[in-house]
Structure 1
Amino acid sequence: MHLRNCHNFHDFRRMAKQRLPGPIFNYIDGAADDEVTHRRNTAAFESCDLVPNVLRGVNGIDMSVTVMGQKLGMPVYCSPTALQRLFHHEGERAVAAAAARFDTMFGVSSLGTVSLEEARRISGGPQVYQFYFHKDRGLNREMMARAKQAGIDVMMLTVDSITGGNRERDKRTGFAIPFKLNPAGITQFAVKPSWAINYFLHERFRLPQLENHVDMGGGVMSISKYFTEMLDPSMSWDDVAEMVQYWDGQFCLKGVMSVEDAKRAVEIGCTGIVLSNHGGRQLDGSRTAFDQLAEVVDAVGDRIDVMMDGGVQRGTHVLKALSLGAKAVGLGRYYLFPLAAAGQAGVERALELMRMEIERGMRLMGCSSVEQLTRQNLRFR
C-alpha cells in the first residue's frame, strides 16, 4: 500500500498495520477492557446530523481559531501522545514539523521520545507540554520550570490517569517499556524485520523528559511501574491549584468529563479543559467527550476554553464538535497511524486531508468562518 492511496483514517490504519509488529500496532489501536468506549467515541458522531444552509455566498474559508491564547490555522491540533519513536524513528520530530507546516498546535508528552526543547526548535508554532502529577512535588516544579525555559506556551496536565487502564491487548503480547515480550509478542516482531532494522539503525530509544528522574534502563522501570510508583493517585484540586499558580500562564486539564469538574477547573484559574476519555484507554464504559460536550459548554464555555478529543476521524466530526461549542479538537490515533505508516510525510498527508475535509464541509454547510457554525446546524437523532 502506498501513501498516495491513503484517503482516510482506515487507509492509514491498514498501512500502519502492514508495517508495525503486532504488539506495537495493538498498543496504538487498543483500549481498555472490552474497548466499548473506544468504539463509541467515533460512533457518537453518527447520532448527530449536520443541517446545511445553501446560497450563502461562501467565497473564502477562514478555519482559524484562537484557543488558550494560541492562534491556530485550523481547528484541530495534534494531542500529545507517548512513545512516538517506537512507531516511526522520526517520532515527535515528524509531528512537530507537520504541525508547523499546517500552522497548528502540537504537544510533547512526559513520555515523549524527543525532548521538548528539540521539538520547540523544529516548530515555532504553539506547543503544549503534557505531564502527569508526581508524588515528588519538586519534580513537578522542575518539569514546569524546564517547560517555561524551553518556551512552551501551554501546560496540559492529564488528570484521568492516576492508574493505568486495563489494556488487555498489551497483556496478551507482553508489551512493556523496556520490552518484556512473551513468545507470542516476539514472534510478531520476527515477521516484521524492516521495523526492527529501522529501529536499531537509529539512535537509542530514550524518554528525555524523564531520564534525569527515572531509571528506565536495565528493565528497572517499566511504563506501568512509572504509573504505579511515581504518579500520585491522591492528587487533589488543591494540588492542581498550586501548580496553576506556579505556572502562571495558559494551563489546561486533559481528561475532565463532568460539569462539576469543569466548574472547579474555572475556579482554580485554568484557561482550558479537554473533555477526553483518553481514547477509551482508561475507564471503559465512560461517556464520550462528544456526548458530554454541550452540557459542559453550556456550564462553563463563556469562562474557559473547552476542547475535546476522542474518536475524531473526519472533518465532519470536527464541524459537529465546533458547532456544539468546542474551541478546537484534538487528534490522536488520526495522526499516529500515518506517523507509523510513513513518518512526517504520513502526518502531513493526514493533516492535509483533514484540512481539505473541514474546508469542503464548511463550504457545503454555507459557513465561511468557524464562528458561523452553531447548534442551529445540528440535529440529534
Structure 2
Amino acid sequence: MYKVIIADDEYMIHRSLAKLVESSEHPFHVVGEAEDGAEALILLKEKPDLIITDICMPGLDGLAFIEKAKQVRPDVLFLVISGYGEFEYAQRALRLGVEDFLLKPVSPDKFQQTLTAIYHRLEKQKRKVMDYRQWFLSHEELLVQLADAIWRLDEKAVDDLLHKLVHLYEEEAADEIPFPTLNNILQEKITKELTNRGLPFPEPPIYRGLTTDADEKIKDTSSVLSQCRAYTQILLHAVKSSRNFGSRTHISKAIMYTKENLSDSTLSVQIAADIAGMSVTYFSRLFKEETSTSYVQYLTRLRMEKAKRLLDEQLLSASEICERVGYTDYPHFSKTFKKVYGIAPADYSKLHRSI
C-alpha cells in the first residue's frame, strides 16, 4: 500500500482527488488532506510515498512546500495539480523533480493514467531499495561496529570504520546506490542501534541539511567521507551530551557492579567502562571527576577495606580472603594490604587474635 497526502486550499477539490486516488486500481491510500503547505508539512509524519499538491495556496505555496518537504523526505514523489497554466510554474515544478504537472480541471482518465505511471515508478523504487538494503545487510556487522564505536565515543575507531565503509561503497555500490540513499539507510540503521543502547533522541533532524543537494556536493571519495563524518560527528555530540547529562548515573552503575563483584579477579577498568557504556579513556576521565580518584585506586581501596573486614571477623585465613577480594597472587595481595595498612594481612590477623 502506497500512502498519499493531498494539499489543496479548495475543500471540494482535495475531496474529489481523494476519491479518485482511492478508486485507483493500484494500491494507493490517502493518509492525510491539507488546505495549505504548512498543514501539509505536519502530515509528513505519516511518511507518504506520493504527495499531490496545488501551487496556489495561502501562506506556504505549493512550490515552497515541495522544497521544504524534500528536505525532510527526499524520496517522496510529487504530482502538481494547478489552475496556473503559465510555463514558468511548470518549469519550476519540473526543476524541483515533480513527477507530473496537471492543469485544472483534471480529467479523471488523465489523472488515473498519471497515477499508473507513478505506481510503476514507486514499484521500481521499491525494488531498488530492496537491492540497496541487501548491500547494507551484507555489511551489517560493520554498521553495528560503527554504532558501537560512536556509543563508546571512540573517535579513532569511528574514523577507521567510516574509511572502510566508504571504500566498500566506492568499490561495490557507488554506481547503483546514490549517496543520499546511502546516507538515509546509514542514518536509519545507526540511529536504531544507538536508540536501542539508550540514546534519548528519536532522530537527528539537524542531519537532514547535510543530505540536501547531496548529489551536487559529492564529487569523489573524499566528499562521501566528509559527508559521512559530518553525520557521525552529530551522533558523537548527541552521545556526549547524553553522557554529560547522565554521567552520574552511568558511573553509579559501574560503581554498583564493582562493589558486587569484588571477588572477580578479571574485574578491570575495561569491564567497568563497558558497564557504563563508555570508552576506557572517557570513562576514566568521568570516573575521576566524579570520585576524585582513578578506577584502579578505587577498586584497590574497596578490596582492601573488604579484606580488613574479613580479617576482623576471624572466620577465614588470609589466603582465603585473598581469593574473596579478587586476588589470584597472595604475595601481591599481601604487599598491597601492607602498603595500605602498614602491616601484612597474616600479621594483622595474628595481632587481631591476640587482642
Taking structure 1 as the reference length, the TM-score comes to 0.22
Taking structure 2 as the reference length, the TM-score comes to 0.23
Q: Between Structure 1 and Structure 2, which shows a larger proportion of helix residues?
A: 2
Choose between structure 1 and 2 for higher RCO, CA contacts under 8 A separated by at least 6 residues.
1
